[in-house]
Structure 1
Amino acid sequence: MKKPPPTPLPDLDIDAICKALANPVRREILACLREPQAHFGDQELPLDHGVCAGKIDAHCALSQSTVSAHLAVLQKAGLVTSKRVGQWVFFKRNEPVIEAFIAHMNAQL
C-alpha cells in the first residue's frame, strides 16, 4: 500500500514564536484559547468562530489596546488566527503551527 505524502509543515518563525511565548499574558491567552468553552462560554456567537477580542480583553483585565498588542504579537508569530465577522474580530489558536513548534523544539533540544 502506498503511503500518503507527508502533510507539509507550516512555515515557522521560531524566533517570533519564542518572543511571543516569553510574555506571561500571551501564554495565558493561548492557554485560555485552548479550552474556549471553559473560559469564554458566555460568548453570544458560537465559539467555532473563535473568541471575540472583547471577551479576551475582559478575561485579561487589561486595556483593549494592551490586549490588542498582545494578540498582534501572537498573530505575527502564527500562534493565533483571526477572523472578522461584522464589527468583531475573533481569535483561535493555530494548532498546526503550535504542534509544529513543539515538534521542532522536541527535535532540536
Structure 2
Amino acid sequence: MKTIEIFKALANKNRLQIIFWLRNPEDYFVHESGVDMREVGVCVSEIQRLLGLTQSTTSHYLSMMSQADLLIVNRIGKWTYYRRNEETIAKLQDYIGQEL
C-alpha cells in the first residue's frame, strides 16, 4: 500500500470530496446511457462539472489519486472514467485501525 501517497492525495478537500462522491456516484452524477457508474466509473467531465474547477486541475487531482491507487481508471473510446479502488480503501481503513 502506498500509505504516504494516499495521505497526500487525501490531504485536499476537493480530492477528498471526489472520493466521497464516488462512494455513491448515482447520488451525485448524471447517469450516462449504457454506463454502469459503479462498475465502469464516472466520466471526467462529470467530476469536473461538480467540482467547478478547470479540466486541467480536475485531471491533475484524478491522476494523483490514481497513482496512489485510490481510483481505478477505465478508458472507453475517447472517454476516461474513474471509480473508487475499494480494495485500497479497505486496506487504508485496516491500517488506520491497527497502526494509528
For Structure 1 versus Structure 2, the TM-score category normalised by the shorter chain is over 0.9
Asked if 1:93 corresponds to 2:84, the answer is yes
| Structure 2: unaligned runs, 5 residues or longer | none
Displacement after TM superposition at 1:49 (Å): 1.3
Question: Which runs of at least 4 in structure 1 moved beyond 2 Å after TM superposition?
Answer: 41-45
Provide the TM-score with structure 1 as the length reference. Answer: 0.86
What is the root-mean-square deviation in Å for CA atoms of aligned residues?
0.9
Structure 1 gaps of 5+ residues are 1-11
Aligned equivalent of 1:69, options 37, 60, 63: 60
Percent identity reads 33
For residue 73 of structure 2, what is the aligned residue in structure 1?
Answer: 82
Aligned length, in residue pairs: 98
Q: Secondary structure of the equivalent of 2:56?
A: helix
1:25 aligned to 14, 31, 37, which one? 14
Following superposition, the deviation at residue 16 of structure 1 comes to 0.2
Q: Tell me whether 1:108 sits opposite 2:95 in the alignment.
A: no
- The answer as to whether partners of 1:57 and 1:63 remain within 8 angstroms in 2 is yes
- Give TM-score scaled by structure 2 length: 0.94
